[in-house]
Amino acid sequence: MRLATYQTGKTYILYDAHSVCDAESTPQITPALFDADHWRHTGRILGEAPGRGSSLFLDAGHEQWVLRPYRRGGLIARVSAARYLWTGLERTRGFRELRLTAHLFAHRLPVPRPVATAVTRHGVSYTAALITVRIPGARTLAELLEQGTADNGLLERVGATIRRFHDTGLDHVDLNARNLLVDATGKVWLIDLDRCRLRSPGTWREANLARLERSLLKFGEAKGMAAIRQGYTESSTACQD
């Protein structure tokens, strides 16, 4: 993976040159690809994921993509749902998340392969969107909990996967059952790294797990966290052996 940046007008695009360049190293990605209307007009929207960002599943020809616009939540969304304060290009949410995702992907951690992010400046504010590769056949842990098909074996794998990320230093500030995916083979993936960062070991690890536990309780899974913690602990022990 080789990340590159280019600017067109007021839009800055950070992309994986190995994924979206032709033989002459010319980027084959434009601001239009971050616009949901573009995909609607071409009839290549395959579906939509639930949640605040209204992520779209896209037919990109050779593979499927996920387009996620950045959206605010809470009370501040009443003022501006899609604009953020500009404090520098590398500090925008799109650039930070794509670089972090690329770093984890390069270290063979189970995150979607990043494709590109676009940031458009509007004076003192900006809007942004992110494109990643869709994980084939993946369903959210939330879905599986609702269906009652998340057994202890799966939950232990969830815990082991979280431990892998924690050992790498990833503080996932929104660790919940919708940001954990399970593919057709049973492999667990972690998505939505917005506002996440790499840190030294600390109390943030337990804060991540506590947030996930609150998420599980919403699905009536009061006992499920025990299996997750078991997988989390056993993964740590295995690494030490």
pLDDT (tens digit, 9 = 90+) per residue, 165-221?
999 999 999 999 999 999 999 999 999 999 999 999 999 999 999 999 999 999 888
Known catalytic residues are 174
**Could you tell me if 89 and 12 are in contact, meaning their C-beta atoms sit under 8 angstroms apart?**
yes
pLDDT (tens digit, 9 = 90+) per residue, 143-165?
999 999 999 999 999 999 999 99
Q: How far is it, in rounded angstroms, from Cα 172 to Cα 190?
A: 9
User: Which residues are within 8 A (CB) of 210 and not within 5 positions of it... i.e. 6 or more apart?
Assistant: none
Q: How far is it, in rounded angstroms, from Cα 145 to Cα 220?
A: 8
**Could you tell me if 83 and 127 are in contact, meaning their C-beta atoms sit under 8 angstroms apart?**
yes
Q: Which two tokens stand for residue 195?
A: 């506002």
DSSP letter for 239, please. Answer: H
State whether CATH 1.10.510.10 applies to domain 139-240: yes
pTM given for the model: 0.91
